[in-house]
């Protein structure tokens, strides 16, 4: 595919609560079933366990079985695979998004904003660095769920990135905020914004409606799916993004700031 396009596959699915084997088997089947050409496959937050507060029981190291699973599937599909899982380093635990390339190289982003309402801050350590990945000249800002509520953490300075991507376990009860904030992030940063969420009930009887979204740089909804499991592939166009920014160069009027 030309460098002016980038193809994403979004996997919106229910998850088996704290059952790694069942989740990895299920997700492998969904990944291998993708027939369309795809370059980036996106899984939900904590895709191998659900949003669990038991990292001492379920966390793995970076050379553990789930990262190895990501490497194997990425190589087989010849596509990047991304999603978050519990990772242990020393005595610390992270909700870590892995960006796995087919050649075995990887990047990672540790969730910055921990969801204190559910006690996430009591079990995990917050990250302090953004990760903007590069694919074919496209720049992708990778974030996790609750980060969505904090616009400064995602804010463009100039034209730093082209796609803002969130993986999530965002409850149905607050799905209006999820959809509204994803749209706002796209408009204010003049970028494509992708949010991939799970569906179904988790082990705490919290319902998830999915509502995975792809939003264009003017806030136009390119994809939306609620409640149902779905695997959806889309090819984004760099020309549309470039033309929008040229026609409406709002980013030039933005305030300069630094994150401490």
Is 258 among the domain residues?
no
CATH for 67: 3.60.110.10
- Do the Cβ atoms of 156 and 254 come closer than 8 Å? yes
Please tell me the pTM assigned to this model.
0.97
The active-site residue, picked from 45, 60, 120, 172, is 45
- Residue among 3, 2, 4, 8 nearest 235 (CA): 8
CB 82 within 8 A of CB 73: no
CB neighbourhood size of 102 (10 A): 16
Task: Kindly state the DSSP code that residue 102 receives in the 8-state scheme.
Answer: T
| DSSP summary character for residue 227 | S
How much is the pLDDT for 33?
98
Domain contains 234 = yes
Question: Which residues form the domain of 17?
Answer: 5-251
Over pLDDT 70: what percentage of the chain?
100
pLDDT at 257 over 90: no
The predicted structure's pLDDT at residue 105: 98
| The two structure tokens encoding residue 247 | 């026609």
pLDDT of residue 1: 67
Instruction: Kindly report, residue by residue over 176-224, the tens digit of the pLDDT.
Output: 999 999 999 999 999 999 999 999 999 999 999 999 999 999 999 999 9
pLDDT-above-90 percentage for the chain: 94
Alpha carbon dihedral 26, 28, 31, 34, in 10-degree steps, equals -80
Task: Describe the crossing of helices 65-77 and 20-32 by its angle, rounded to 10 degrees.
Answer: 10
Does residue 259 form part of some domain? Answer: no
Give me the phi and psi of 82, to 5 degrees please.
-140, 150
> Among residues 20, 39, 60, 111, which one is catalytic?
111
Residue 158 has pLDDT above 90, yes or no: no
Residue 172: pLDDT over 90: yes
> Annotated catalytic, 225?
no
- Domain assignment present for residue 238? The answer is yes
Active-site option among 145, 172, 179, 225: 145
So what's the pLDDT on residue 157? Answer: 86
Establish whether 220 is a catalytic residue: no
| Residue 172 DSSP label | G
Within 10 angstroms of residue 215's Cβ, the number of other Cβ atoms is 24
Least Cα distance to 9 among 80, 96, 103 occurs for 80
* Domain count of the fold of the chain: 1
Residue 55, H or E segment: helix 55-58
């Amino acid at each position: 595919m030309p460098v002016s396009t980038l193809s994403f596959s979004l996997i919106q699915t229910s998850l088996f609560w704290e059952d790694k084997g069942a989740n990895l088997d299920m997700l492998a089947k969904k990944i291998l079933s993708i027939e369309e050409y795809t370059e980036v496959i996106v899984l939900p937050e904590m895709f191998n366990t659900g949003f669990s507060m038991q990292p001492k029981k379920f966390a793995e190291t970076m050379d553990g079985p789930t990262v190895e699973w990501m490497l194997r599937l990425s190589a087989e599909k010849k596509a990047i695979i991304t999603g978050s899982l519990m990772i242990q380093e020393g005595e610390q635990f992270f909700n870590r998004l892995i960006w796995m390339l087919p050649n075995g190289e990887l990047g990672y982003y540790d969730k910055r904003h921990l969801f204190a309402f559910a006690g996430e801050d009591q079990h995990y350590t917050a990250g302090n660095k953004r990760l903007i990945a590069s694919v074919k000249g496209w720049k992708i800002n990778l974030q996790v769920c609750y980060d969505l509520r904090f616009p400064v953490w995602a804010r463009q300075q100039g034209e730093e990135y082209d796609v803002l991507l969130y993986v999530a376990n965002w409850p149905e009860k607050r799905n209006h905020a999820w959809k509204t904030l994803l749209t706002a992030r796209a408009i204010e940063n003049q970028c494509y914004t992708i949010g991939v969420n799970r569906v179904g009930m988790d082990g705490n009887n919290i319902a998830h409606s999915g509502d995975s979204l792809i939003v264009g740089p003017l806030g136009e909804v390119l994809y939306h799916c609620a409640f149902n499991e779905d695997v959806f592939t889309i090819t984004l166009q760099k020309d549309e993004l470039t033309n929008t920014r040229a026609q409406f160069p709002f980013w030039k009027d933005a305030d300069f700031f630094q994150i401490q």
